[in-house]
Amino acid sequence: MLIPVILAGGAGTRLWPVSRASYPKQFLPVVGEQSMLVETLARLMPISTGGPIVVCQEAHRFLVAEQLRAAGQRADIVLEPAMRNTAPAIAVAALAALAKDEEATLLVLPADHAIAHPEALLAALEPAEAAARAGRLVTFGVKPTRAETGYGYIEVDSAVTGAAVPVVRFVEKPEAEVAEHYLEGGRHLWNSGMFLMRADRYLAALSQARPAMLSAVAAAWEGRSADLDFLRLDAEAFERCESESIDYAVMESTPDASVVSLDAGWSDVGSWESLWEIATQDAAGNAVDGDVVIEDVRGSLVHAESRLVAAVGVRDLLIVETPDAVMVAPRQSAQAVKTLAERLKREGRPEWDQHRRVHRPWGSYDGIHAAERYQVKQICVAPGARLSLQRHFHRAEHWVVVRGTAQVTRGDDTFLLEENQSTYIPLGVVHRLENPGKIQLELIEIQSGSYLGEDDIERYDDIYHRD
């Protein structure tokens, strides 16, 4: 049985400010109408596979579940207690796959890659599967279209289309001159980070190369538990794993590595530069999205989400606007955007992690305005959803319904609020908000008090099992 494994645990910091730690690029419609996660799963629809396994961070579990539900997709969702890179994540998926089928073959796909021609990927699966059945660990190497210094490379004796060939060696990200040599020589492929291999063969190779890692993963798997739609690993055991990619841990040392050449319009969408490259461009080489007005602009990407963005007389720039941040950089500095996000994290700025609109399992809220001792939010609650039964120690809240119907629990009282009606939740009073209707509930919440942080909450009951 061929079982897709979707790795959805990345942070996507090079696409800041659109991609953020709490809502990274794999959950965003970066290159299409659907999120990259959903599009990755959709590529597999034409082939018969076992149920997919999605491996993601615990913090993103409700994002994954909701996006799969909305797209009509089903998958086993395995939660990583800590980020430990791809080698442990794939090992967990291999154990999960073997629990379903002792002869399972894994098709490992990152959730945040773009493929313009998915039919080419599907065609490449046939030679890859044949090699995997023979015990090979197969990766997919992308035919380079330029001298790229941001990708690793795979060296082969010859890249034969439609065949799996042995890997000569894996090569780190090269300098520009070396990358030009690779492009001209025709013996190097970009390392795509996609793999096809038997689950038992991967675990055997990991056992030889990193026995301590496999031992920790196996212990985490043995200590697993089910929680709603998710499978939780034993956190203490999993955290004993060292953080390492499959390339370093297994592929560079195994004698059984093979590669299938792939020409499918692939991109890892690893930076704003790479997004500009695959985007639709005008005659001047500009890729624009949103409410954008440009004059005498060339070779630039301009992205607007919440307001008009205008540019004049600039060249080769990245201009990215979100409701709470604007990022401007030369296109050639696209890889350095990650350092901006890292600096914001060090300085304790919330913009590195959260968007202004914050998603929750029950819906979302948008921080419209904040000042000393008060803030205003727009709260959206999905039909049938409800917040936890809770209270706050440092703030009171006013709620005004602007759309839909709210069911409010306040102390010992439970009552309905219709549009244009309001209520007051005093400080320290136990309360709950629910949407009993069939349309989205929207309300304006005004908080006031000495402390307005999201951690000022004591939960008594929560259907989503949050702490």
CATH assignment of the domain containing 238: 3.90.550.10
pLDDT of residue 159: 64
Is 213:206 a contact under the CB 8 Å cutoff? Answer: yes
Clarify whether residues 305 and 410 are in a common domain: no
Which of 290, 306, 341 is at the close of a domain?
Answer: 341
Residue 87 binned pLDDT confidence (cut-offs 50, 70, 90) = very high
Is 63:355 a contact under the CB 8 Å cutoff? Answer: no
pLDDT of residue 424: 98
Is 240 part of any domain? yes
Is 193 part of any domain? yes
Length of the chain, please? Answer: 467
Is 157 part of any domain? yes
pLDDT of residue 7: 98
Is 195 part of any domain? yes
Is 125 part of any domain? yes
Asked if pLDDT for residue 148 goes beyond 90, the answer is no
CATH code of the domain covering residue 412: 2.60.120.10
Which of 315, 341, 367 is at the close of a domain?
Answer: 341
Of the candidates 139, 119, 105, 109, which has an alpha carbon nearest to the alpha carbon of residue 261? 139
Clarify whether residues 115 and 260 are in a common domain: yes
Which of 239, 267, 295 is at the close of a domain?
Answer: 267
Query: For the packed helices 199-209 and 86-100, what is the interaxial angle rounded to 10 degrees?
Result: 140
Phi and psi dihedrals of 358, rounded to 5? Answer: -110, 130
* pTM to 2 decimal places: 0.91
Clarify whether residues 226 and 87 are in a common domain: yes
pLDDT of residue 150: 84
Supply the range of the domain harboring residue 172: 2-267
pLDDT of residue 32: 87
Lowest-confidence region among 12-16, 195-199, 200-204: 12-16
Clarify whether residues 286 and 262 are in a common domain: no
| Mean pLDDT on 235-241 | 96
Asked if pLDDT for residue 48 goes beyond 80, the answer is no
| Mean pLDDT on 267-292 | 96
The structure tokens listed for 67 are 């996006």
Clarify whether residues 155 and 179 are in a common domain: yes
Clarify whether residues 326 and 431 are in a common domain: no
Clarify whether residues 228 and 277 are in a common domain: no
pLDDT of residue 229: 87
Is 216 part of any domain? yes
Clarify whether residues 402 and 441 are in a common domain: yes
Clarify whether residues 106 and 134 are in a common domain: yes
Domain count for the chain: 3
Clarify whether residues 261 and 276 are in a common domain: no
Is 51 part of any domain? yes
Is 247 part of any domain? yes
Average model confidence (pLDDT) across the chain: 95
Clarify whether residues 330 and 402 are in a common domain: no
Clarify whether residues 133 and 208 are in a common domain: yes
